[in-house]
């Protein structure tokens, strides 16, 4: 394809598409600030280049799960607001204070640790209080909220923290009409009111992920926090394609055929011989496997574009490679095999792979391993 063709495999990351997706998402929530979620190496797309591109397209906040991810963004020169939410006891609170992170607090242990770090640093820590409004994962339960809020307010009065946000996360925003959505919103409003009654004045209140941003305007509050949609994947494939939402997939995963050979009928292919050639044919070797994040569950089902035609994984996906039955065609060794991309060259999409493997497209892109180089294209705005 391009100058990158000699690589065994590559994940091309189109930053122009990412910037356009951010603009499109911002148009869905014009009155809300935008937090670009770049955790897990930007869902496999490369954290720092994606964060930069999102900021160029108007994101004023960047969000990660772990403090290490947030600190890595700062080390790479990402300014502005950076928030992280998955803390464990003994975490790098002091580094977080020094780096001006917005640090999520879900319980009293975390408040105590961040207050101690602020005291030691001699500066105010920015914290955001997370409410469990019904996800049942991280976040403070409603019964424990009054104490957390009161103690945070006390620390604020002492100049040790500033509560910059109150926030929560949905359980079922990707299932339109699910009763938990409305129930979570009611509780979120109640928990905000309870905090405000105790004197907390958050800069931002937020709960909307990608499905909320795209399909539930009543969830936008002061800030939206999309991840998957920024990478051009529909968070609600049963409702609309990326194109329906004005999005374009950002990652194209391809590999160079490592071997093309003739095989007779009745030839077993790959471990376990789960595929046996139905007649004389040609086989192509695609040099990526589950060691690169290709799901083994897509054995026999994963779609691949080779030589202008859609093929399927023949037999098992192995650690480093899998085979496709080329049906007698003889593309040259080194020809491109496209596993997924935007879909407009006839290639499959990450959503097609998700269906083939019985998972979600989030997992397909995020699990692509570090052995596959990310090739970022259209790095500069205007390209």
Ligand X SMILES: Cc1ncc(COP(=O)(O)O)c(C=O)c1O
Please, what is the minimum distance in Å from the beta carbon of residue 131 to ligand X? 12
3-state helix, strand, coil in the chain (%, to 5): 35, 25, 40
**According to CB under 6 A, which one of 97, 103, 228, 365 is a site residue for ligand X?**
228
3-state secondary structure at position 26: helix
By CB under 6 A, what part of segment 177-216 binds ligand X?
A: 209-210
Write the binding mask 308 to 327 for ligand X: x where contact by CB under 6 A, - elsewhere. --------------------
Stretch of 156-164, 177-185, 220-228, 283-291 lying at the interface with ligand X (CB under 6 A): 220-228
3-state secondary structure at position 270: coil
Reported as type and span, the H/E element at residue 196 is helix 179-197
Of all residues in the shown chain, the one whose CB is closest to ligand X is 227
Stretch of 20-28, 117-125, 227-235, 329-337 lying at the interface with ligand X (CB under 6 A): 227-235
Stretch of 228-236, 238-246, 271-279, 330-338 lying at the interface with ligand X (CB under 6 A): 228-236
**According to CB under 6 A, which one of 169, 220, 311, 376 is a site residue for ligand X?**
169
Q: Which of 351, 331, 325, 327 is nearest to 340 (CA)?
A: 351
**According to CB under 6 A, which one of 67, 92, 226, 343 is a site residue for ligand X?**
226
Residue for token pair 């928990």: 191
320/288 Cα distance (integer angstroms): 5
307 phi/psi in degrees, rounded to 5 = 60, 40
Residue for token pair 């104490």: 147
**According to CB under 6 A, which one of 45, 81, 205, 225 is a site residue for ligand X?**
225
333/356 Cα distance (integer angstroms): 26
Q: Which of 292, 288, 284, 274 is nearest to 308 (CA)?
A: 284
Please, what is the minimum distance in Å from the beta carbon of residue 211 to ligand X? 6
Stretch of 186-194, 226-234, 261-269, 342-350 lying at the interface with ligand X (CB under 6 A): 226-234
Please, what is the minimum distance in Å from the beta carbon of residue 112 to ligand X? 22
52 close to 19: Cβ distance less than 8 angstroms: no
Nearer to ligand X, 215 or 270 (CB): 215
Query: Which DSSP state fits 140?
Result: B
Nearer to ligand X, 170 or 322 (CB): 170
Nearer to ligand X, 210 or 281 (CB): 210
Please, what is the minimum distance in Å from the beta carbon of residue 192 to ligand X? 17
Beta-carbon-side half-sphere exposure of residue 379 (alpha carbons within 13 Å): 8
By CB under 6 A, what part of segment 32-71 binds ligand X?
A: 37
Residue 156 to residues 83, 94, 159, 198: CA-CA distances in angstroms?
19, 17, 5, 12
Catalytic residue among 231, 271, 290, 309: 271
Please, what is the minimum distance in Å from the beta carbon of residue 212 to ligand X? 8
348 close to 214: Cβ distance less than 8 angstroms: no
Write the binding mask 64 to 103 for ligand X: x where contact by CB under 6 A, - elsewhere. ---------------------x------------------
Residue for token pair 């060259």: 345
Please, what is the minimum distance in Å from the beta carbon of residue 130 to ligand X? 8
325/315 Cα distance (integer angstroms): 10
Beta-carbon contacts of 204 under 8 Å, excluding residues fewer than 6 positions away, are 33, 128, 164, 165, 167, 221, 222, 223
Catalytic residue among 39, 231, 275, 362: 39
How many helices and strands, by DSSP H and E, does the chain display? 11, 19
By CB under 6 A, what part of segment 234-253 binds ligand X?
A: 235
The footprint of ligand X on this chain (CB under 6 A) covers a number of residues equal to 11
Please, what is the minimum distance in Å from the beta carbon of residue 61 to ligand X? 11
Nearer to ligand X, 251 or 337 (CB): 251
235/169 Cα distance (integer angstroms): 15
Active site residue 271: yes
Please, what is the minimum distance in Å from the beta carbon of residue 330 to ligand X? 42
Interacting residue ranges for ligand X, rule: CB under 6 A: 37, 85, 169, 209-210, 225-229, 235
Which amino acids are annotated catalytic?
39, 271
């Amino acid at each position: 394809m391009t100058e990158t063709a000699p690589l065994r495999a590559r994940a091309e990351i189109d930053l122009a598409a990412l910037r356009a997706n951010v603009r499109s998402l911002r148009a869905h929530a014009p009155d809300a600030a935008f937090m670009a979620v770049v955790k897990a190496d930007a869902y496999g797309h490369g954290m720092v280049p994606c964060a930069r591109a999102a900021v160029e397209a108007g994101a004023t906040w960047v969000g990660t799960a772990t403090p290490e991810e947030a600190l890595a963004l700062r080390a790479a020169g990402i300014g502005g607001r950076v928030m992280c939410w998955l803390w464990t006891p003994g975490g790098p609170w002091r580094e977080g204070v020094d780096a001006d992170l917005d640090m999520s607090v879900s319980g009293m242990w975390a408040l105590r640790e961040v207050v101690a770090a602020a005291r030691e640093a001699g500066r105010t820590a920015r914290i955001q209080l997370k409410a469990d409004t019904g996800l049942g994962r991280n976040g403070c339960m409603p019964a424990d909220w009054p104490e957390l809020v009161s103690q945070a307010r006390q620390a604020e009065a002492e100049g040790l923290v500033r509560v910059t946000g109150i926030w929560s996360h949905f359980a079922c925003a990707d299932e339109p009409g699910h009763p938990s959505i409305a129930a979570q919103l009611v509780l979120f409003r109640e928990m905000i009111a309870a905090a405000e009654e105790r004197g907390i004045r958050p800069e931002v209140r937020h709960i909307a992920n990608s499905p909320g941003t795209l399909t539930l305007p009543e969830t936008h509050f002061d800030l939206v926090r999309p991840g998957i949609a920024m990478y051009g994947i529909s968070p609600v494939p049963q409702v609309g394609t990326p194109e329906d939402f004005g999005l374009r997939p950002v990652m194209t995963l391809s590999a160079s055929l490592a071997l093309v050979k003739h095989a007779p009928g009745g030839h077993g292919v790959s471990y376990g011989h789960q595929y046996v050639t139905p007649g004389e044919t040609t086989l192509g070797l695609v040099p990526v496997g589950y060691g690169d994040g290709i799901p083994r569950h897509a054995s026999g089902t994963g779609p691949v574009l080779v030589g202008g035609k859609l093929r399927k994984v023949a037999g098992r996906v192995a650690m480093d490679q899998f085979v496709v039955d080329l049906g007698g065609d003889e593309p040259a060794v080194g020809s491109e095999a496209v596993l997924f991309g935007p879909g407009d060259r006839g290639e499959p999409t990450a959503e097609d792979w998700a269906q083939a493997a019985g998972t979600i497209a989030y997992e397909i892109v995020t699990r692509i391993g570090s052995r596959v180089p990310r090739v970022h294209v259209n790095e500069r705005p205007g390209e």
